[in-house]
């Protein structure tokens, strides 16, 4: 067996519309086809729309403590200044790190239910203005 790539992440949501709004309106994913599954949720796609990248599940209680050991999900992104402006406009806190040795900027924020999201931007993107 050889792993070829990451297929998707699944996040649990206490409010499907609020979670979709975060990933669609703030991070720029697109809602697409989700087969009938007998539960509420959404499948979100990146610009290539070839496969779903993020699955949202709702309609069941969130656990008191998050299961497992996964710390965060990371996406490759473009438009650092635009993302920073959007996060500020929506009062979403973030942490930004410049990682020149990796050739990236790392931006960390949290979705409405507390899932940590990392956005990686090319190091040659200009430092965002405050």
The predicted model scores a pTM of: 0.85
Query: What does the buried/exposed string (b/e) look like for 35-70 if buried means 16 or more CB atoms within 10 Å of the residue's CB?
Result: eeeeeebbbbbbeeeeebbbbbbbeeeeeeeeeeee
- Evaluate whether residue 129 is within a structural domain: no
**Measured between alpha carbons, how far is 56 from 76 in angstroms, rounded to an integer?**
19
- Evaluate whether residue 1 is within a structural domain: no
pLDDT in tens, 53-91: 899 999 877 777 766 667 789 999 999 999 999 999 999
Strand segments, DSSP code E, in 80-123 are 95-99, 104-110, 116-122
Q: Which domain holds residue 53?
A: 9-60+70-122
- Evaluate whether residue 82 is within a structural domain: yes
Backbone angles phi and psi of 16, in degrees to 5: -55, -45
- Evaluate whether residue 118 is within a structural domain: yes
pLDDT in tens, 19-61: 999 999 999 999 999 988 888 999 999 987 778 889 999 987 7
Three-state DSSP at 100 gives coil
Q: How far is CA 62 from the centre of its chain?
A: 18
């Amino acid at each position: 067996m050889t792993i070829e790539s990451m297929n998707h992440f699944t996040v649990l949501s206490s409010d499907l519309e609020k979670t979709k709004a975060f990933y669609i309106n703030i991070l720029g994913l697109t809602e697409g086809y989700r087969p009938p599954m007998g539960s509420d949720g959404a499948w979100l796609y990146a610009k290539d729309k070839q496969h779903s990248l993020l699955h949202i599940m709702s309609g069941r209680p969130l656990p008191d403590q998050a299961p497992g050991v996964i710390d965060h999900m990371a996406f490759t992104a473009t438009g650092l200044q635009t993302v920073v402006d959007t996060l500020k406009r929506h009062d979403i806190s973030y942490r930004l790190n410049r990682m020149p040795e990796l050739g990236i900027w790392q931006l960390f924020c949290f979705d409405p239910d507390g899932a940590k999201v990392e956005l990686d931007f090319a190091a040659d993107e200009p430092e965002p203005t405050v």
